[in-house]
Amino acid sequence: MRERHDPAHAGVVAGRVVGLVTAALAVARLLTAQEATVEQLDAIVRALGIDVDGFGRAYFYLSVAGVAVTRYALAYVVGSLIGVAYDWLGASTVGLVGLVVAVGLLDGAVAAIDARNVWIGAAYVLAWVFYLPVFARLHDESPDRERPRRLGRE
């Protein structure tokens, strides 16, 4: 059974929050390019001699769903690994902030290059900043937090 203040669990939950935010960013970004992408997909399908109405649109929405699930899963796993690394580093706050900033900058750089837009990259970095308060809230090791929480009480 896991402890109340298990850093891996706190990392998983914080990673889920980041996953939801980055998935929403990715979906929003893809939806801004929807028409051009669907037209290109339809042109490719027609060039291959396949005449299926709506193939490009269906493929586009399947891709969007796949991107959202992948972003969520990636942040879920990376969030857990950050929590484990935090524990391994001896519960160092500086180490936690450094890890989250490094992951956020890497994710933001990849997003900025992919979207050819610095603001998109900055949004991904900001999404990873959400990890820190969620992790801190869930990983509170104060003595009054050792007992189980009760609804309506802090």
pLDDT per position as a tens digit, 1-14: 445 568 888 999 99
Domain coordinates in residue numbering, the chain = 7-137
In this structure, which amino acid lies at residue 137?
R
CB crowding 106-135: b at 16 or more within 10 Å, else e:
ebbeebbeebeeeebbebbbebbebbbebb
pLDDT per position as a tens digit, 40-61: 888 888 888 877 778 888 889 9
pLDDT at 144: 53
Are 79 and 21 contacting, i.e. CB atoms less than 8 angstroms apart?
Answer: no
CA 90 to chain centre: 25
pLDDT at 152: 56
Question: 139 is written with which tokens?
Answer: 């990983």
Task: State the pLDDT confidence band at 127, using cuts at 50, 70 and 90.
Answer: very high
Alpha-carbon distance 23 to 46, whole Å?
31
Where helices occur in 34-130 by DSSP H, the ranges are 34-47, 55-88, 93-115, 118-129
Give the sign of the dihedral formed by CA 79, CA 71, CA 130, CA 12. Answer: negative
